[in-house]
Structure 1
Amino acid sequence: MKRQISFVLALIICGLIVFPQFSANAANVDVSTDEVRVYLGTREGNSVFEKYNYIQNQSELLDQISAETPDQVYPALVTFDSFLTPEEATNLLDGVESIDTVYIWTPNKTGRAIISVQNNDMRNAISSFFGSIDFAADVSEEYKTDMRELISNYGIFAVETRATAATLEELSMDQDNLRVDVIYNPQAESIAVTNEIDISYICVPEKPDGTQ
């Protein structure tokens, strides 16, 4: 019995030594034999406790990098608490280096469109996306209806951007209608380097209406 207890204790200790950095944020980090995946945003199925820990960890990371490397540019996921127009989103993001990706959809509808942005021009990127939709293609009528609704009643609920750590911190502090998630995880990066495996960041921003 003592030997079994010692063996279990050794396993617990090893677990704490190898993966202590994921104890509070494991719900958003997946580690496999060949890749580390870091999820930014709220994953479906996360508990209230996991969501709280994730938000807390992101806040602490932003505080840390803004204090240690304020002028370094980082990618970040910015999630809004309401659906915005391109002009409204641009005004909130004043001071960022670039806006690289925009997330849009029709309010209160399931789905999302993820669109690459050039020259920080979200409206042009969205217009180009709409222009690429082929309504003559052999697709379902439901899809065509969804696309028509999207064109006439879309809203921006998140963007991927790049900005200095100081700007991201200021953006987070000055606005109470958005959340800033730095697309960076130093612990996950360390695991990837140590084990010589790839790391990828996957953005899954939460929509303000609670739909998927």
Structure 2
Amino acid sequence: MATGFHEVRFPLRLALGTSGGPVRRTDIVSLSNGRENRNRRWRDARRHYDAGSGIRSIADLYAVLEFFEARAGQLHGFRFRDPVDFKSCPPGGTVNANDQGIGTGDGVTATFQLIKTYGDTGGASIREIAKPVAGSVAVSVGGVLAGPGDFALDVTTGRVTFIPAKIPASGAAIRAGCEFDVPVRFDTDRIDIDLAQFQAGRIPSIPLVEIKP
């Protein structure tokens, strides 16, 4: 069976109770003068989660087992909603077409990748959004809301493609907002279940790791 990605979402009620977040890899070398040399090994963060912390009942546990079997363990990726970071705006905000800058028109380029920028006065990090939620994406060009017929959205890659008559003019700012999922896979081929321990409060560990689909 070939490795693939299934465009299905991990059960939302379980995702809301998971733990985890972004992980970065930094090499640090301590020098003889007490200073440090720090080098970023990974360009982008890689998110890790533990879905076990979202399980509250035997029914929840069975839902995870069924989902795990349908993905054949680690073989197939799937969508996961980060309980904190799942929108182009802060968690308490409302998605709108001006949330994130995704490019500048040149009169020729028709396709733009959805992204999210995390930044402040000290620096910024850009994250590619590859799994937007269908129906949640709003786009603006030069501050004007684009109509739904002005562009096509690929929900499997996060690319926005304008129709020929609506290609952004040179210098026009293209912005977008959306909800999105994280592409992940199970980070184990085994889930250990001990019902006696589970009833006593022990929750299985069900690790998930972000992937590039």
TM-score (norm 2): 0.27
**Structure number with higher strand proportion:** 2
TM score, norm. by length of structure 1: 0.27
Choose between structure 1 and 2 for higher RCO, CA contacts under 8 A separated by at least 6 residues: 1
